[in-house]
Structure 1
């Protein structure tokens, strides 16, 4: 499963790289992806998206981010990190990617008391 996740992440990174023409932005994106999960989550925070509205315009990117965050949330649930998982699921539940949003809402219903 982690191989599939790695391939999906690599694919997302390559797609992002192909869209970034400004070397400074390219460097910033590469650092975000190489730094780990928390940085990636922060990169797609409301503030980051407000500063870079074009990041939220590609449905494939939305789906990739939502799927990745959903996978992270499920891993956090498996590790018993319920609060962290709930925060991620809340973000995914409002994603434009309907499939991920619905799955996130279903998981929230189960795990929120």
Structure 2
């Protein structure tokens, strides 16, 4: 019977550590892709347990609150652009309605004038 080998686990442990580090790096990339700002990225990474060494959520959140949240300029521009587009549509509709109303009034006036001339 061959002797029992017990030290094969050390190689497997090293492999597992390398695999864990690789998986954590991939998870950090995904978190960075889906987060909207730095605080969001830190929060998601800490929730998943894939934050880099030395990154503490409490400290980052305290720093973020101290400097105050910044407004996203891209979102406000998009909203303003969409508001102007909707107001432009509304004014176009109003102008079209007025034009049809005035055209209808003119047509009725002409029709009444013709009928009064014939009589």
TM-score by length of 2: 0.28
Q: Which has the larger radius of gyration?
A: 2
Relative contact order higher in (CA < 8 Å, ≥ 6 apart): 1
